[in-house]
Amino acid sequence: MSADDGAASSGRAFVLEKESELRVEVGSEAPLGLRLASGNAEIFGAELPPEKWITVQPSQKIAIFTWKGATIELEGVSEVEYVADETPMVSYVNVHAILDGRRSRAMTNKGLDSSRGPRAIVVGPTDSGKSSLCKMLLNWACRRSWKPTFVDLDISQGSITIPGCISASPVQTPIDAFGGIPTEMPVAYFFGHTNASVNVELYKVLLTELALTLERRFSCDVEYEAAGMVINTMGWVDGLGYELLLQAVSTFNANVVLVLGQEKLFSMLRDVLKSKPHIDIVKLHKSGGVVPRNQKTRQSSCSSRIKEYFYGLNNDLSPNSLSMNLDDISVYRISGDPPAARSLVAVDINQEIIHSVLAISYAKDPDQIISSNVAGFVYVMEIDMESKRITFLAPCPGEPPSKVFVMGTMKWSED
Ligand SMILES: Nc1ncnc2c1ncn2[C@@H]1O[C@H](COP(=O)(O)OP(=O)(O)OP(=O)(O)O)[C@@H](O)[C@H]1O
C-alpha cells in the first residue's frame, strides 16, 4: 500500500457517528491500510491526517475514535473489525481537561511552591488499557503544546527503550499509535528482567534513582515541571506488586492516581491514601475494546520491541556490528538474592552469554553501576575465545560510550 496515496480506495468504508470508534485487530501475517476519508478521527489521542493512507503493522490492535463523526476506509485483511458506540472516552478526556487545568495553573504560579504540574499514575491489572490511556493523555497534552514527561515503569513492555528497563522521556510530538515513543532525552535504568519479582529490591532502588533524576530535570525547567508526568505501571497489582505501586506513587510524588478497571484496587488505594488529601484517586472504566494478550503474544511483542530498538519500526535503521577485545570490557550482573539488590557479580564471558541483551552503563566504575542510567543496549552475536574477541550488534557505529556492560536474564534471537 502506498503511504501517501490520496486516490480512491477499493477498500471498505465505515461511517462513524460522533463519539464512536472502529476497533481493528490486524492479523499477524500482513499489514492493513487505513485512511481517514472525511471528518476527524484519532488513534489513542494522535490525530489521523486527512485523506492519507497509513500502514498499520501486523498484530496491531487499535481503535479509531471520532468525537464528531468520520468516515474511515480500510484495505487489506484484518482479524477483527467492528464499530462500538459505548466507550469510556468522555471520562478519559475529562481527566485530561483536569490535568490541563493544573498545568496552566502551575505555569501561572511558576517559581512558587504550587508550580508543580500534574503527576498522573495509571494503575490497573494486566490488559486494562493502561498503556493506551497513557498515550491518550500524553497526546492530548502534546496537542495543547505541553511537553509532559512519560514515565514507563512497566518492565515487561519497555515502550520508551526496551523491555527490562524503567525509563522516562519528555514527549514533544504526538506518539504514533503504532510505534514507540519519539524520544528526545530518554533516561533509562536497566533492571535486566521482564518480571519485577526476580529482584523487587533492585526495582525499588531503580524507581528512586529515576525519580531523583527527573526531580533534578524538573527543578531546572519550569515547563517540564508544569507539564508534569504521566506514569505507566505494571499490571502486577497483588501482594508485592501492590506494594511496588504504592512505592511508585510516593517516590514520584504522584498527585493523581487513575485506577483502571478494578474496583478492589481502587478501594484499597482509596483507603490507604486517604491520609494524603493532595492525592486524587479516580476510578475509570476499562474500554471494552482492550484486547487481552496471552503469554505467547506478550513474549513475541517483547521480542519485537527489542528488534525495533536495533532495526527500527519499519526496518528503517541499520544497526552495526561492533567487535571488541574481551580484555577491554567488563560485564556485571546485579545479584537477585535478597537482600543483596545492590551486590554486583562480575560475569565470566563465555559462550553462555551469546544472545544476551546487555545495557551499556554510564558508570565510570563498578560501584556506580546500580545508580547509573544506561546509554543504550547491545546484543551479543558472537564470542571467539581464541582471538579473545566479542561481537555485538549495536544501534549505531563507533565505540560505545563506556566499556562497562550490565547483564540480566534477557535473551533475544535475531531469527
Ligand atoms: N479501544 C480499543 N480498541 C481496540 N484495541 C484496544 C483498545 N484499547 C486498547 N486496545 C489494545 O489492547 C491491547 C492492550 O491494551 P494496553 O496495552 O493499553 O493494556 P495494558 O493494561 O497497558 O496492558 P499490560 O497488561 O501489558 O500492561 C493493546 O494492543 C491495545 O492497542
Mutate to test the pocket of ligand 1, among 24, 123, 131 (most ligand atoms within 8 A of CB): 131
Residue 110, annotated as binding a ligand = no
**For 89-284, CATH number?**
3.40.50.300
The angle formed by the CA atoms of residues 311, 316 and 321, to the nearest 5 degrees, is: 40
Is the domain 318-411 a CATH 2.40.30.330 member? Answer: yes
Ligand 1 atom index nearest CA of 65? 1
- Distance, in Å, from the CA atom of 13 to the CA atom of 75, rounded to the nearest integer, reads 9
Residue 9, annotated as binding a ligand = no
C-alpha separations of 373 from 67, 228, 362 in Å: 41, 21, 6
Contact (Cβ atoms closer than 8 angstroms) between residue 25 and residue 80? yes
Mutate to test the pocket of ligand 1, among 230, 290, 294, 297 (most ligand atoms within 8 A of CB): 290
- Distance, in Å, from the CA atom of 260 to the CA atom of 263, rounded to the nearest integer, reads 9
**Which H or E run includes 178?**
none
Residue 361, annotated as binding a ligand = no
Q: Which residue has a Cα nearest atom 17 of ligand 1?
A: 131
Q: Which residue has a Cα nearest atom 3 of ligand 1?
A: 289
Report the Cα 134 to chain-centroid distance in Å: 9
Residue 127, annotated as binding a ligand = yes
Query: Block means of pLDDT (10 residues each) for the chain, length 415 residues?
Result: 38 96 93 96 96 91 97 95 98 98 92 82 97 97 96 93 95 77 82 93 95 95 95 96 97 98 95 95 97 89 90 86 94 74 82 94 89 94 94 91 92 81
pLDDT of residue 344: 84
Ligand 1 atom index nearest CA of 87? 1
Ligand 1 atom index nearest CA of 298? 26
In sequence order, the β-bridge partners of residue 170 are 149
Helix, strand and coil content of the chain, in percent to the nearest 5, comes to 30, 30, 40
Ligand 1 centre distance from Cα of residue 398 (Å): 38
Question: Among candidates 205, 263, 203, which has minimal Cα distance to 233?
Answer: 203
Q: What is the CA radius of gyration of the chain?
A: 22
* Cell numbers that stand for 107 in this block: 505555569
DSSP string, 250-307: HHTT-SEEEEES-HHHHHHHHHHTTT-TTSEEEEEPPPTTPPP--HHHHHHHHHHHHH
pLDDT of residue 312: 87
* Cell numbers that stand for 205 in this block: 532502588
Mutate to test the pocket of ligand 1, among 127, 176, 295, 304 (most ligand atoms within 8 A of CB): 127
Residue ranges of domains in the chain: 12-87, 89-284, 318-411
Q: Which residue has a Cα nearest atom 31 of ligand 1?
A: 61
Residue 131, annotated as binding a ligand = yes
The predicted model scores a pTM of 0.94
- Distance, in Å, from the CA atom of 135 to the CA atom of 46, rounded to the nearest integer, reads 8
* Cell numbers that stand for 131 in this block: 498503556
Question: Among candidates 49, 124, 136, which has minimal Cα distance to 88?
Answer: 136
Ligand 1 atom index nearest CA of 133? 18
pLDDT of residue 364: 84
Contact (Cβ atoms closer than 8 angstroms) between residue 319 and residue 393? yes
- Distance, in Å, from the CA atom of 137 to the CA atom of 337, rounded to the nearest integer, reads 38
Q: Map grid coordinates 492530548 to a residue.
A: 140
**Cβ < 6 A, ligand 1 pocket:** 23, 61-63, 124, 126-132, 154, 157, 235, 287, 289-291
Question: Among candidates 293, 370, 217, 239, which has minimal Cα distance to 28?
Answer: 293
Ligand 1 atom index nearest CA of 157? 26
Contact (Cβ atoms closer than 8 angstroms) between residue 118 and residue 255? yes
CATH of 12-87, one of 1.10.10.10, 2.60.120.1030, 3.40.50.80, 3.40.50.970: 2.60.120.1030
**Which value does ipTM take for this structure?**
0.99
Residue 51, annotated as binding a ligand = no
pLDDT of residue 6: 35
Residue 352, annotated as binding a ligand = no
**Which H or E run includes 224?**
helix 222-227
Q: Which residue has a Cα nearest atom 8 of ligand 1?
A: 290
Intrachain domains 12-87 and 89-284 with the same fold: no
- Distance, in Å, from the CA atom of 255 to the CA atom of 32, rounded to the nearest integer, reads 40
